[in-house]
Amino acid sequence: MRDPHQGPITIVSGMPRSGTSLMMHMLDAGGVPALSDGRRPADLHNPHGYFEDERTRRLAQDSSWIEEARGKAIKIIYRLLPHLPPRLEYDILFMERDLHEIYDSQKTMLEAKSDPSAGQDRDRMVHALGRDLDMVREWLAKQASIRCISVPYAKMVREPERWAVQVAQFLGRDLDVGAMAAVVDPALYRHRIAR
């Protein structure tokens, strides 16, 4: 097993509402503490918390603190990944979710805040999100300092034990996979697209 304090920095990434908070919760339960400032409280949309650090929002301006995440896990939105310092190594758990589900989930959150952007056209937004994701995936594939595994949200909710094991193997860490799987609550998988 790797020494987490010497190896790559663990990052959970993906689009908002793709399961990033759930993955952070799983890692935290399994033995990888979250680097989080606790400023964003749990709510109806994420009842177990967001596991965020506000410094990630300014990553393009200041990334000097990122090594504080060594031995921990940090959540970084997909669009900010290209601002990671290239001198370091990273293991990225990239959460994948059906883009229509992501749109519907984001719309519900925006409507709850009476945000006018909740009314944006669904098909146009899904297309734009897909283009965004493709650009980030292309960038990730070219980075020698990054290892990345895609974690499908729907499958992880269906088979949490299997995905907990896969995540532990990818990270090369002796994690409590039982505790990781136990925090997955299928009832919180809302906005499902019928399959």
Please report, for the domain that includes residue 91, its CATH number. 3.40.50
CA atoms within 13 A of residue 50's CA, in its CB half-sphere: 16
pLDDT of res. 146: 97
Query: Over 60: is that where the pLDDT of 192 sits?
Result: no
**Which is more confident, 125 or 130?**
130
Measured distance CA(58)–CA(135) in Å, rounded: 21
Reported as a pLDDT band with limits 50, 70 and 90, residue 190 is low
Query: Over 60: is that where the pLDDT of 195 sits?
Result: no
The CA distances from residue 24 to 69, 72, 123, 177, 179, in Å, are 13, 10, 29, 13, 13
Question: 122 lies in a domain?
Answer: no
Question: 90 lies in a domain?
Answer: yes
Tell me which residue has tokens 């809302």. Answer: 190
Instruction: State the total domains in the chain.
Output: 1
Question: 143 lies in a domain?
Answer: no
Measured distance CA(170)–CA(148) in Å, rounded: 9
pLDDT of res. 188: 66
Backbone angles phi, psi at 62, to 5 degrees: -150, 110
User: 171 is written with which tokens?
Assistant: 């990270």
Question: 115 lies in a domain?
Answer: no
Q: How many CB atoms lie within 10 A of CB 25?
A: 22
Q: Are strands 9-14 and 90-96 parallel, antiparallel or unpaired?
A: parallel
Query: Over 90: is that where the pLDDT of 2 sits?
Result: no
Question: 75 lies in a domain?
Answer: yes
**pLDDT mean over 111-116:** 68
Question: 192 lies in a domain?
Answer: no
Question: 29 lies in a domain?
Answer: yes
Question: 14 lies in a domain?
Answer: yes
**pLDDT mean over 103-132:** 78
Q: How many CB atoms lie within 10 A of CB 19?
A: 27
Query: Does pTM top 0.85 for this prediction?
Result: yes
Cα-to-chain-centroid distance, residue 141: 18
Query: Over 80: is that where the pLDDT of 40 sits?
Result: no
- What is the domain extent for residue 69? 9-98+148-186
